[in-house]
């Protein structure tokens, strides 16, 4: 496969352009007047998740003269959002798995299914695992997360086939699903949520809710124990209320100060030992280790001592390497949580920043949003919202906006939010990959 | 709060796909980039998604869109989530975003 700008590739790109409405033909005139850079700048986007796929698409939207190559090893992308719903049996695996076809066909993005093995910011090149090298004018990196494998004794990457984290959706999600299905009624599911900061702050607690929903229907004698590395968590009062109302004493949460912090795992016996030396034995054990930026970000020298990537938070350009942008979970994005919605918003802002930079326009200071919906049960949804804006230093929260679903609201509110949670999923997956 | 609205026109050719040239003069970059973040929930181009539960917002009357946002913000129009979003925007921002969204074909 050739991914350099060969004649064959050019013809393919050209034919995509021809398929667009007449307006798109302005592109070539625009290219002539473009002051900076080459006639057709090339932006390479690494990672076809929420951040990268959105950015690739919006780069083409903001300046269709930009040639975009999206590099993602997986042929289909299974979303983490919705993966907890799948664990409950509320949706199937296919419904949370999406293809890159629309990005190729509808948006004229060159999607290359390969791993990136290295980045050379000085030479402006990206090296692929298959040995090929790509030249770029601007680079966007959205590699998601990696785990800090040195934080829990006895639990390493070789153990995930027995004790899943299921914090990167795909085979891990299926494995946890199968283990829950195989578990006897009366068994114990133990989940160990990570310390902050981590991908999707309400995610572990939505997972608990969804496993409880499944147990309530199919294995009502079973127990759920949460051994938490934290003393509080996202939407905690709302989750606690929902758990009490819907699942009674099925769920036990043990915070860090109450002995919930885990120290080691014995994978063979699915036993966890806490910092205080207490042991807990599970039938299904789900350990979610502490996190850091995706491996590629480390290899490319884009991280700082925190293990995440510092960026200018108005454009998401790296503060370490010029011309390289980091978005999504790997980036340090001020007050924005590590979520698919945040990554989607950041992908758009980053695309705008690159179009602005390449064309000599002025960078606006847009407002971004994040919403994390969670299902507590099939017909019971809750949410947390914030609006963000760059304040000259960091991506800060806009005062007076945002907040969580009211506690003690009428069931109709929770029902409506469950419906909108699914609506959010449909919309954001179309905005990112399908539409 | 200071208005961050940027008056620079954004004459990106890509946008010609969506708007007739005459409409572009009133649209500023703030409205376009901020308005585009609404699509995460309201679907690509704000047009909703088949079978989705969140209503489309694109191509609706600018006055209606702006008034609806203000009514969400004040609570006059009840909502599950839009009040928490609408509280993040000033009148001027709402109006310019509404204008942008109204012109999406
Ligand atoms: C259980 C769970 C539930 C969640 N629910 C929600 C939710 O309801 N709402 C929400 O907003 N967020 C949710 N999230 C969070 C969301 O999944 C992440 O925040 C989001 O995926 C981050 O996007 P990203 O682009 O940074 O990374 P990702 O989506 O992980 O994408 C990274 C991509 O980069 C690719 N990649 C990595 N390294 C390389 C390389 N070297 N070469 C090429 N490609 C590479 C990977 O294959 C991957 O596809 C949830 C997460 C979990 C775990």
Q: What is the rounded CA–CA span in Å between residue A78 and residue A97? A: 4
**According to the model, what pLDDT value does residue A428 have?**
98
CA distance A258 to chain B (A): 34
- Hey, how many other C-beta atoms are within 10 angstroms of the C-beta on A381? 26
**According to the model, what pLDDT value does residue A39 have?**
81
Cα–Cα separations (whole angstroms), residue A390 to A275, A316, A322: 40, 11, 20
Q: By the CB < 8 Å criterion, does A383 face chain B? A: yes
**According to the model, what pLDDT value does residue B105 have?**
87
Say yes or no to pLDDT of B26 above 60.
Answer: no
**According to the model, what pLDDT value does residue A134 have?**
98
* Cβ-Cβ contacts under 8 Å, A430 against chain B: 43-44, 49
- pLDDT band at residue B27, thresholds of 50, 70 and 90? low
**According to the model, what pLDDT value does residue B1 have?**
33
Q: Indicate which residue's Cα is closest to atom 26 of ligand 1.
A: A328
Question: How far, in Å, is the centroid of ligand 1 from the Cα of A86?
Answer: 17
Pairing of strands A76-78, A97-99: antiparallel
Residue contact A417–B80, C-beta within 8 A: yes
Tell me the pLDDT of chain A (435 aa) as tens digits.
Answer: 333 333 233 223 333 333 333 223 223 333 333 444 458 999 999 999 999 999 999 999 999 999 999 999 999 999 999 999 999 999 999 999 999 999 999 999 999 999 999 999 999 999 999 999 999 999 999 999 999 999 999 999 999 999 999 999 999 999 999 999 999 999 999 999 999 999 999 999 999 999 999 999 999 999 999 999 999 999 999 999 999 999 999 999 999 999 999 999 999 999 999 999 999 999 999 999 999 999 999 999 999 999 999 999 999 999 999 999 999 999 999 999 999 999 999 999 999 999 999 999 889 999 999 999 999 999 999 999 999 999 999 999 999 999 999 999 999 999 999 999 999 999 999 999 999
Q: Where are the domains of chain B?
A: 64-104
- CA-based nearest residue in chain B for residue A27: B13
B 26-45: CB under 8 A from A: 28-30, 32-34, 36-45
Which secondary-structure segment (H or E) carries A349?
Answer: helix A340-359
Q: How many CB pairs under 8 A join A and B?
A: 156
- Predicted ipTM of the assembly: 0.89
| pTM attached to this predicted model | 0.91
Residue contact A400–B84, C-beta within 8 A: no
Q: Is A316 in the pocket of ligand 1 (CB under 6 A)?
A: no
Superfamily of domain A153-290: FAD/NAD(P)-binding domain (3.50.50.60)
3-state secondary structure of A280: strand
Evaluate whether A11 touches A4 at the Cβ level (below 8 Å): no
Which of A27, A40, A61 is the mutation pick for testing B, counting most B CBs within 10 A?
Answer: A61
CA A37 to chain centre: 32
Q: In degrees rounded to 5, what are phi and psi of residue A262? A: -95, 150
Residue contact B17–A405, C-beta within 8 A: no
**According to the model, what pLDDT value does residue B10 have?**
41
A7-144+294-364 and A153-290: identical CATH topology? yes
Evaluate whether A432 touches A344 at the Cβ level (below 8 Å): yes
CATH number of A7-144+294-364: 3.50.50.60
Which of B13, B48, B87 has its CB closest to that of A64? B13
**According to the model, what pLDDT value does residue A8 have?**
30
**According to the model, what pLDDT value does residue A15 have?**
30
Q: Which two tokens stand for residue A402?
A: 């945002």
Q: Where are the domains of chain A?
A: 7-144+294-364, 153-290
């Amino acid at each position: 496969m050739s991914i350099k700008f060969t004649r064959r590739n050019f013809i393919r790109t050209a034919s995509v352009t021809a398929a667009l409405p007449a307006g798109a033909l302005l592109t070539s005139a625009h290219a002539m007047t473009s002051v900076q850079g080459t006639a057709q700048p090339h932006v390479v986007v690494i990672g076809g998740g929420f951040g990268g796929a959105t950015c690739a698409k919006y780069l083409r939207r903001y300046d269709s003269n930009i040639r975009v190559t999206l590099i993602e090893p997986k042929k289909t992308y299974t979303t983490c959002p919705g993966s907890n719903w799948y664990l409950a049996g509320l949706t199937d695996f296919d419904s949370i798995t999406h293809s890159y076809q629309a990005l190729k066909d509808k948006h004229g993005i060159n999607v290359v299914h390969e791993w990136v093995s290295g980045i050379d910011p000085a030479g402006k090149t990206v090296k692929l695992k298959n040995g090929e090298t790509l030249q770029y004018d601007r680079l966007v990196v959205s590699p998601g997360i990696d785990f800090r494998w040195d934080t829990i004794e006895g639990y390493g990457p070789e153990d995930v086939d027995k004790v899943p984290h299921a914090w990167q959706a795909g085979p891990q999600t299926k494995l946890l699903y199968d283990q829950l299905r195989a578990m006897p009624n009366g068994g114990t599911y133990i989940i160990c949520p990570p310390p902050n900061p981590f991908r999707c702050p309400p995610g572990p607690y939505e997972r608990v809710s969804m496993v409880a929903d499944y147990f309530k229907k199919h294995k009502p004698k079973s127990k759920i124990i949460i051994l938490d590395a934290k003393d509080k968590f996202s939407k905690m009062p709302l989750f606690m209320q929902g758990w009490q109302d819907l699942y009674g004493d099925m769920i036990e949460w043990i915070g860090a100060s109450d002995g919930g912090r885990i120290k080691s795992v014995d994978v063979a016996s699915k036993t966890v030992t806490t910092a205080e030396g207490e042991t807990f034995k599970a039938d299904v054990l789900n350990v979610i280790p502490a996190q850091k930026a995706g491996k590629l970000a480390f290899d490319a020298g884009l991280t700082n001592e925190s293990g995440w990537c510092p960026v200018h938070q108005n454009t998401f350009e790296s503060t370490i390497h010029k011309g390289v942008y980091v978005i999504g979970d790997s980036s340090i994005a001020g007050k924005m949580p590590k979520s698919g919605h945040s990554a989607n918003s950041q992908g758009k802002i980053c695309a705008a920043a690159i179009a602005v930079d390449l064309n000599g326009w002025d960078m606006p200071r847009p407002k971004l949003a994040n919403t994390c919906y969670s299902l507590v049960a099939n017909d019971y949804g809750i949410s947390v919202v914030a609006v963000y804006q760059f304040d000259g230093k960091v991506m800060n929260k806009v005062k007076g906006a945002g907040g969580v679903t009211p506690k003690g609201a009428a069931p109709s509110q929770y029902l409506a939010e469950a419906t909108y949670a699914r609506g959010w999923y449909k919309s954001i997956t179309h905005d990112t990959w399908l539409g | 709060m200071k208005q961050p609205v940027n008056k620079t026109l954004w004459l990106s050719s890509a946008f010609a796909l969506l708007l007739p040239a005459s409409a572009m003069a009133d649209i500023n970059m703030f409205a376009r980039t901020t308005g585009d973040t609404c699509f995460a929930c309201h679907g690509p181009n704000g047009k909703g998604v088949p079978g989705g539960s969140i209503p489309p917002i694109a191509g609706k009357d600018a006055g209606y869109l702006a008034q609806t946002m203000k009514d969400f913000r004040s609570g006059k129009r009840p909502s599950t989530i839009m009040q928490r979003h609408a509280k993040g925007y000033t009148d001027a921002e709402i109006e310019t975003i509404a204008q942008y969204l109204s012109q999406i074909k």
